[in-house]
Amino acid sequence: MASPQSSKAPKTTSSEVTRRELLEVAAVTGGMLVGGHLMPTGASPAAAQAPGPSPAPLKVALRVNGTDHHLTLDPRTTLLDALREHLHLTGSKKGCGLGQCGACTVLIDGKRVKSCLSLAALVDGREIMTIEGLAQGEQLHPLQAAFIERDAFQCGYCTPGQIMAGVACIAEGHAGSPQEIRDWMSGNLCRCGAYDHIVAAIQDAARVSGTVRGG
C-alpha cells in the first residue's frame, strides 16, 4: 500500500507541473497552494439578504488560520459568507447552505463545524481553521497528500470540506476502521461517489499520525 508521503506527493515548486497536478493541488488546498501562488477559484455571489431593513452592522474580529481580521458585518452574515465574501478564502465551498452536505466544513477551536450554519458574529475571537491554513508552507498536511495519493476526489467540490472533517475525524480518534470512518464522515456528502477513496485516504493519514494501530 502506498504511503501518503510517497514520491507521488505534489511537485508544487516544479515549473514542469502538469495540469492534472495543478488541479490535484488546487482541490486539496482550496486553490491556495499552487506553485506558491494563489490560484483563482472564482468569485462567489454576494450573500443573499432577507428583504426588509438591515440591522445595524457589527464589528467582528475573526481569527482565521492564525491571522486576525477585523470586519464590519451584517449580524446575519454566516461564517461561510464572511470567509468567502469578505476574506476571499474561497476554499470552503457553499453546497446546500443548509447544513446537509458538509462542503463548508471548517474547524473552530479544533472541532469541525458547518460554517454555513454558524453566524460570524458568534465565533468572534475563536480559532478558525480553513483548508487554506492546513498546509505548512508548501508542505501538504498528511491528509491532503493522502487525498492526492488515493485519488480521493473527482470534481473536487466536496474535497476541502471532506479534508477538514477528516482531520477532525482522525483527531477525535474515529478513524479506527473503514466503517467507523464512514459513520463519522457521514455528514460530508460526495456527489461523485469517491467515498471508498476518501476512506482509504483518511486511514492512511490516521496511520501516519499514529492514531490507529496497524489497520
Report the nearest approach of ligand FES to the CB of residue 152 (Å).
8
Q: Under the criterion CB under 6 A, does residue 190 sit at the interface with ligand FES?
A: yes
> What distance in Å separates the CA atoms of residue 20 and residue 176, rounded to the nearest whole number?
31
Residue closer to ligand FES (CB basis): 58 or 192? 192
Residue closer to ligand FES (CB basis): 97 or 176? 97
Pairing of strands 111-114, 105-108: antiparallel
> What distance in Å separates the CA atoms of residue 137 and residue 133, rounded to the nearest whole number?
9
Q: Under the criterion CB under 6 A, does residue 62 sit at the interface with ligand FES?
A: no
For residue 36 the three cell numbers come to 506558491
Sketch the per residue contact string, 124 through 163, with ligand FES: x for CB under 6 A, - otherwise: -----------------------------xxxxxxx----
Contacts of 213 (CB under 8 A, 6+ apart): none
Alpha helices by DSSP H, listed for the chain, are 19-29, 79-81, 142-149, 159-171, 178-184, 195-209
Considering only residues 96, 110, 125, 139, which one is a binding residue for ligand FES as defined by CB under 6 A? 96
Residue closer to ligand FES (CB basis): 106 or 121? 106
Q: Rule CB under 6 A: which residues touch ligand FES?
A: 94-97, 99-104, 114, 116, 153-159, 190-192, 194
